[in-house]
Structure 1
């Protein structure tokens, strides 16, 4: 199905109930406006068809059309044409006419904005023109009490229903926007923050530490010999190892900690309000848990982690210098034998 077809079906489904309700209430309004002129049977049949049969035909037409969006657009313009036709047929009776045209216009604005509103006005004008040829109406500037009460249901109920539909659509769009934003900031393989999102959080944490003089630590985590794992066991198994690490991170970190995939086989964690000693214990325990994991794909597979830790220090000029300290600690962990946690404090390096 094309994108236009999908949008059309969605639009047709949203409009089906509102069109059925609007035209049913509109029938009451138009019938009250037409009754004093004693219309012939074919006019009554036309009113009934427009009010009670057309909504279902319009919906079926959209469902069966190869371009449902275009079909539903035509349906909406036909609604406007019919509205103009009945305005002329009612001899331009003020309240029923204004009610009919304003409800149609409100619907067109809600669906397609100013441009479609103008198209609807053109369709209404054509409907008025055809009606003048058929009925040769005169302008009757009096609205009876019965006609007034006949207009009240559509004036009260239809805007309420249309407003509710627009509200539901706004809620849906807002949810989709949040979901898209989350997807744009999430690594698809691990489900953790992606590189850019994690760096944004790192900058926020750096500024928070600088303002509040509060402690925090960041960790860079590297899977040892990951290229060899891919070469020996295959990339599918390599992806499983990456997902296992992301699972261990989610299960063993606090809700306030922020884990992300920095790139390739490298992960990163922000540990707010955590001193270096405690951060070292947490990372070492996480390393042990990851080391103990088994893999059903191959019982011989074992993976280990090298982790570099750096606490926030007032001497850091920016978040990048903080991150560079963690990267230096990770380099030390890898160069001193891997499968260990190294931390940096100023110019001092310590391995666990």
Structure 2
């Protein structure tokens, strides 16, 4: 009896062992499948993340490439603009030089003509008169070339502004001219600066018979530093050891602390400080030329400038001269 019980116990233990092994194997198989699925999901997610990162990098690279291309285009446009402006300036200088030579030659021949007439040498006088007429014809031709060149320069200067900037300048001009003040706007392209580039966000004007220009635009274009004191309503301009101080509404200015009275007080137009052009010419040592026929004001830097002569070179730049 005891022997039968022992055998049954052994069979029972073997059965339990086999059953447990089978269950364990099944569970391990299921866990293995789950782990495999999890790995597949993880690998799929990793692959998707890598793809997204690649897309983000590509998008970033595309944006950087677009920005670089835009910068390169802007630089190329600036270079082409600069080249066109410099070429026209060189043409204008060559025409001016030739015209000056002919006028000097004409002066000499006119004196010879007067002497020939006084001496009764009518044949020589006639020859000299013909030379004078020929030179005058050449001078007039050069003047026409100069006029065409300046018109081209005005177009080039205008092309420096965007359509939005030109539109804003037009709106500002309309506001200034309809403000009830005695103001006439000067087109920005009529200000020609040699050797430097200048852009206005407020146009120069003629007010009460005087030409007023935005002081910051002119000063900074020619290398000066401009600072604005809002509390005191003062503008301080410094360049090469020279200090110029202007106060809004005052006809007094200070150049290296020396008091100077200007034609009309500096004032604010369209939130920009404007001052008489003459004052800027005298203070910054600029050479200026007014061409009544083309309506252009040419400004350039000159090492030595006689202020009195410069003023004579500007025919008042007032309303009467511009009419």
Q: What is the TM-score when the length of structure 1 is the normalising length? A: 0.28
Q: Higher strand proportion, which one?
A: 2
Q: What is the TM-score when the length of structure 2 is the normalising length? A: 0.30
Higher RCO structure (Cα 8 Å, ≥6 apart): 1
Q: Higher helix proportion, which one?
A: 1
